[in-house]
Structure 1
Amino acid sequence: MDMSTRETSNQIHDDASSSMTIKTDDVVPWSYLNHDVISLVMMQLGVIDFLAFSGVCKSWRSVARSNWKTFMTSKPPMLMLILPVGNNDRQCWLVDSEGKEFRTIIPHSAGWGCVGLTCGYLILLRWKTYDFWLVNPITRHELHFPPAPCVSDYVSKITSVLFISPSMSKLVFVILASNQIWFSIENEGGWNFVSSTFDFTFKDLHVFKGRIYSVSNKGHFCELTLEPEPKLTLLKTKSLLDEDVSFRELVSWGENIYVRENLMAYKLDFCEMEWVPFQYTGDENEVAFFLSDLSHGAAAKPESWGSEPGRYVVFEGGGKGRFFIAVQWYFPHECLNVNLLHDA
């Protein structure tokens, strides 16, 4: 190899080495990544990793906030436990579908019991005074409502809904206890009674498409309106669930509302105003029902969620639908999804 050839070869090698060398001054921070790319990555995370993701930097936190509802809606229910961790505190322990854990302390929560769940808020009841404290374990947001006149030591079950009234521009908390319905408006104090002349027992409350509905032990379907005066209106259905059952619950997903009783479910056909038995067809994208001891279940689409032996029991087939059972569930898809109530 002559001198000119050697020089040319060396120059090519130097140029190639130079082109493959990355100067430290040219490294781009993670926060400078394209937001569309960040969003794609974020949507693949579990809820626990999402919380860590949102705390990396201001840019990532901004992406997380703008995609919060979309992300939470896409995630399956999480197992939940409320455990004492000291004389004054309780701990909320959430486990996602991948087995990852999130634990948060609820300070000064001794003397309070968790009696339900609404819009991602734990509903805590103080046993001595019967006032309510709503805490979102993920966002840490809190709401307080005064002692309710229908709650006592003898109340075995409390169901409730939380929503925003457009005319009041405030949050409204509605509870059903001792077969009485009361509601309290945020920061106004006191409770308002919803009178009724019906002689049946109300079993549940549910907000669906901006309306509040209730169902009775006999399957009567009612709509609750608060303005101009609080009242219950009976909605006539062609098929009435005649049998008196001890447990009946309203849940919804997408365009449908269901009434669930134990391991049976019925979907309401609003066009015909008829309750239709829900049949599970085996489609993995079909709606499933999640049962817990918190007097609050939910319907959701399991899609490709994997079951974990020992964590919950699955009943399916035989026309009963699919039911996931656990002591307590937490529903990310309801988190901060406070319904806007339609004007009456």
Structure 2
Amino acid sequence: MTITSSMSRNQNHNSSKRIKTCDNCDVAPWSDLNHDALFIVMMRLRVADFVAFSEVCKSWRSLALPNKKRFMASKSPMLMRISTCASNKKRICLEDFEGGKSKTTLPHSGGRFYLGLTCGYFIMFGRETKDFWLVNPITRHGLHFPPVPIFYCESRIRAILVFSSIISKWVFVILYRFDHFIWFSIAGEGAWNHVSSTSPIIDIHAFKGKIYTINYVYDYDSDRGEARHLCEMRLNPDPKLTLLKTKNFPKNDLFLPKFISSDENLYLIDSFPNNLWKVYELDFGEMKWVPFEETRDEYAFFFNGFKHGAAVKIESKDPRYDDLDESGNGRFIAGNMWYFPHECLNVNLLHE
């Protein structure tokens, strides 16, 4: 009885070893998964999971990185909520149109408040220190910039993050609306420089490798006694503003125009009472402003107040946008806080 039981145990043990060995031989490594099938899986991921996906192995990374722009571009703007946790840091909740949620705690956010978005980064301003931390909630990459020499009301700040190819460094650019100066700081250098203008500057925006501003000037030839001009800001080799001639800058339709852009187009936009919006697209070939209703494009315009916005091209029958407010020939969504995945891994690379 003892011998039989012992033999049975040995047979079972050997059988188990054979099965395990066989199973291990039949299981292929995750890195060997077919890329066509893996691509389908990847495109169904949430935004916050994409970075983790790209770090699984070299094979997955080789699939993810070349397709990161396509992945992010496929994702709709996400509703954003900011709260303060027990450690006094900011907790971010991002929710997509399908109800999927991603939560993260921002590093370097303790004792700071949110000023806006740029290039996928949260702009966090220190209440006491007066300095800035820019943090990407997806990659958790952070950039630090010192206090600006002159600081006004934070509600007037318009800020953008760009990357200079000449010096191979990040540059943080700040405008106080209606001021005559644009301040900029190079990451790691701990200092600020500025560009001055003879006229107040209304807005600033980075688009396709260049920085643009809207300048407000008094125009004796205008019925309203005022005019707005489009300028380009150069950082290198000598920081300066250059006036760009446009054929028909909309003087009467836009009182306080703001920049907004899609991947392909640059717009001016302004809001009026009764939920009325005016939008113009810049035709760079003709250097003229075209009313949005004449472009026949389908876009949804999302805004975080005056801080930041984005134009997202949509299909006319896309059910995700059925509940969004419409005005004129476009969809205009203001008042909520939105995060834009298509900007998350993009870089405002300056063409200098």
Coarse TM-score class (shorter-chain normalised): 0.7 to 0.9
Give the deviation of 1:56 after TM superposition.
Answer: 5.6
Decide whether the 8 Å contact of 2:48 with 2:138 is kept in 1: no
Give the deviation of 1:254 after TM superposition.
Answer: 3.5
1:231 to 240, 244, 255: 240
Q: Which amino acid aligns with 2:111?
A: G
Decide whether the 8 Å contact of 1:280 with 1:322 is kept in 2: no
Give the deviation of 1:272 after TM superposition.
Answer: 2.3
User: Aligned partners of 1:155, 1:50: CA distance in 2, in Å?
Assistant: 33
Compared CA separation, residues 29 and 246, structure 1 to 2 (3 A): same
Per the alignment, residue 331 of structure 1 pairs with 340
Decide whether the 8 Å contact of 2:107 with 2:140 is kept in 1: no
Per the alignment, residue 188 of structure 1 pairs with 189
User: Aligned partners of 1:257, 1:108: CA distance in 2, in Å?
Assistant: 33
Aligned-partner SS, 2:63: helix
Give the deviation of 1:47 after TM superposition.
Answer: 2.1
2:331 matches 1:322: yes
Decide whether the 8 Å contact of 2:173 with 2:182 is kept in 1: yes
Give the deviation of 1:139 after TM superposition.
Answer: 0.4
Compared CA separation, residues 110 and 26, structure 1 to 2 (3 A): closer
User: Aligned partners of 2:237, 2:129: CA distance in 1, in Å?
Assistant: 31
Aligned-partner SS, 1:39: helix
Q: Which amino acid aligns with 1:149?
A: P
Deviation per residue, 1:152-181 (Å, 9 max, x gap):
3x3422111111112211111111015231
Aligned-partner SS, 1:67: helix
> Equivalent residues in 2 for 1:272-291 (5 A)?
272-279=286-293, 286-291=298-303
2:259 matches 1:260: no
Q: Which amino acid aligns with 2:350?
A: L
2:311 to 275, 287, 299: 299
List gaps (5 residues or longer) in structure 1: 1-22
User: Aligned partners of 2:342, 2:160: CA distance in 1, in Å?
Assistant: 15
Deviation per residue, 1:44-91 (Å, 9 max, x gap):
334245456446666435533342222112211111111111252110
User: Aligned partners of 2:306, 2:111: CA distance in 1, in Å?
Assistant: 18
Compared CA separation, residues 294 and 144, structure 1 to 2 (3 A): farther
Per the alignment, residue 222 of structure 2 pairs with none
Give the deviation of 1:322 after TM superposition.
Answer: 2.0
Decide whether the 8 Å contact of 2:302 with 2:310 is kept in 1: yes
User: Aligned partners of 2:95, 2:45: CA distance in 1, in Å?
Assistant: 14
Compared CA separation, residues 287 and 188, structure 1 to 2 (3 A): same
What TM-score do you get using the length of structure 2 for normalisation? Answer: 0.80
Compared CA separation, residues 233 and 76, structure 1 to 2 (3 A): same
Aligned-partner SS, 1:68: helix
Moved more, 182-191 or 202-211: 202-211
Compared CA separation, residues 294 and 132, structure 1 to 2 (3 A): farther
User: Aligned partners of 1:281, 1:211: CA distance in 2, in Å?
Assistant: 23
What TM-score do you get using the length of structure 1 for normalisation? Answer: 0.82
Give the deviation of 1:338 after TM superposition.
Answer: 1.3
Compared CA separation, residues 322 and 244, structure 1 to 2 (3 A): closer
Give the deviation of 1:29 after TM superposition.
Answer: 4.2
Per the alignment, residue 18 of structure 1 pairs with none
Decide whether the 8 Å contact of 1:47 with 1:96 is kept in 2: no
2:258 matches 1:249: yes
User: Aligned partners of 2:26, 2:241: CA distance in 1, in Å?
Assistant: 67
Aligned-partner SS, 1:228: coil
Runs of 4+ aligned structure 1 residues displaced above 6 Å come to 280-283
List gaps (5 residues or longer) in structure 2: 1-21, 217-226, 272-276
Q: Which amino acid aligns with 1:191?
A: W
Compared CA separation, residues 246 and 122, structure 1 to 2 (3 A): farther
Per the alignment, residue 203 of structure 1 pairs with 202
2:222 matches 1:221: no
> Equivalent residues in 2 for 1:1-344 (5 A)?
24=23, 25-48=25-48, 50=50, 53-54=53-54, 59-107=59-107, 109-152=109-152, 154-177=153-176, 179=179, 180-198=181-199, 201-216=200-215, 218-243=227-252, 247-262=256-271, 263-279=277-293, 286-293=298-305, 295-303=307-315, 304=318, 306-307=320-321, 313-316=324-327, 318-319=328-329, 321-343=330-352
User: Aligned partners of 1:187, 1:224: CA distance in 2, in Å?
Assistant: 22
Decide whether the 8 Å contact of 1:117 with 1:294 is kept in 2: no
Give the deviation of 1:291 after TM superposition.
Answer: 1.3
Number of matched residues?
311
Decide whether the 8 Å contact of 2:84 with 2:90 is kept in 1: yes
Moved more, 57-66 or 89-98: 57-66
